[in-house]
Amino acid sequence: MSTIEDAWSYLTTAQNWTGANGITTSTFDGGWTWANDSIIALGIEHMLMSIAAVTIAAILALPLGVYLGHVRKGGTATVIVSNVSRAMPTLALLTLFAASAIGFGNKAVIIAAAIFAFPPILTNSFTGMADVDPDVRDAARGIGMTRFQIATRVELPLAVPLIAAGLRTSSVQTVATVPLAALVAGGGLGVIINTGIATQRYGQVLAGGIIVAVVALTTDAVLGRLQRRVTPPQLRAVAAAAKASA
């Protein structure tokens, strides 16, 4: 019972949100960093790291998936990529990167998170492009569209629901992965949990767990709405079917 009270008092103490000395602290070399005792600062850091990871993954995976889907090649390779990434523990990649030349901290986390954000975007954009009805493609060719026009004006719009679903999956997954950063001396909301466990303040651990869970669920809900908005009504059944099979 007291753990819940502790968690409640942790969450309702203003200083835990704003930090004892503001949301940033200066580093010894004259720069600044997000304060580790402020939920707001850690939250902002968490979001920035997630956005960086998903952006890197999307820049690499989207064109690749769209191209491979358009030429309908490499389906097996995309499946293998997603299977291996599922078997690879996030922690393994994090610790490997942290111990390598990349070093401890947020950089290792962003790269690792980007690697895990890569497969859902790749497979979904591939499937979205490759699964376009051959008759539709045929019709587009029949009215004299070039390959490029078919890809950008016919296949891509039809693939948007699946691509959006992939971006959502990978974003939510990234937001859920970034807390592990705390284990390799990175920032983000996992720090609250890690500090709590290290100092045996289980109220804080519980509070951190709640915050991370709420952030993940909110991200999922917000992106779910966005996904619905970019999906034309006629294609919503397709998107729903894709989600059920994922």
Partner 1 sequence: MDAPPNPWFSWQYLERNWSEVVDALVIHIELTVLAVVIAVAISLPLAILARRIPRLSGPIMGFTGVLYTIPSFALFALLAPYTGIGRTTVLIGLVIYALLILVRNIVVGLEGVDPDVVDAAKGLGYSPTKLLFSVELPNALPSMIAGLRLATVSTVALVTVGVVVGYGGLGQLMFRGLQSDYRAQIATSALLCLALALILDVLLLAVGRLAMPWNRPQGKRGSRASRQAARTQVESAS
Site for partner 1 in 175-194 (CB under 8 A): 175-177, 179-180, 183-184, 190, 193-194
- Which of 205, 223, 238, 242 touches partner 1 by CB under 8 A? 205
Pick between residue 66 and residue 182 the one whose CB is nearest to partner 1. 182
Q: Are 72 and 51 in contact (CB under 8 A)?
A: no
Q: Which residue has the tokens 């009270």?
A: 5
Contact between 208 and partner 1 by CB under 8 A: the answer reads yes
Helix axes of 39-71 and 106-130: crossing angle, nearest 10 degrees: 30
> Minimum distance from CB of 95 to partner 1 (Å)?
4
- Burial of 15-25, coded b for 16+ CB within 10 Å and e otherwise, reads ebbbbeeebeb
> Minimum distance from CB of 86 to partner 1 (Å)?
6
- Which of 38, 90, 106, 124 touches partner 1 by CB under 8 A? 90
Contact between 225 and partner 1 by CB under 8 A: the answer reads no
**DSSP 8-state assignment for residue 235:** G
Which of 53, 79, 38, 85 is CA-nearest to residue 189?
Answer: 38
Which of 35, 42, 163, 187 is CA-nearest to residue 113?
Answer: 187
Q: Which residue has the tokens 């191209």?
A: 67
Q: Considering only 39-47, 117-125, 135-143, 203-211, which stretch makes contact with partner 1 by CB under 8 A?
A: 203-211
Residue 86: HSE in the Cβ half-sphere, 13 Å Cα cutoff: 7
Contact between 3 and partner 1 by CB under 8 A: the answer reads yes
Contact positions toward partner 1, by CB under 8 A?
A: 3, 83-84, 86-93, 95-96, 98-100, 172, 175-177, 179-180, 183-184, 190, 193-194, 196-197, 202-203, 205-206, 208-213, 216-217, 220, 244-245
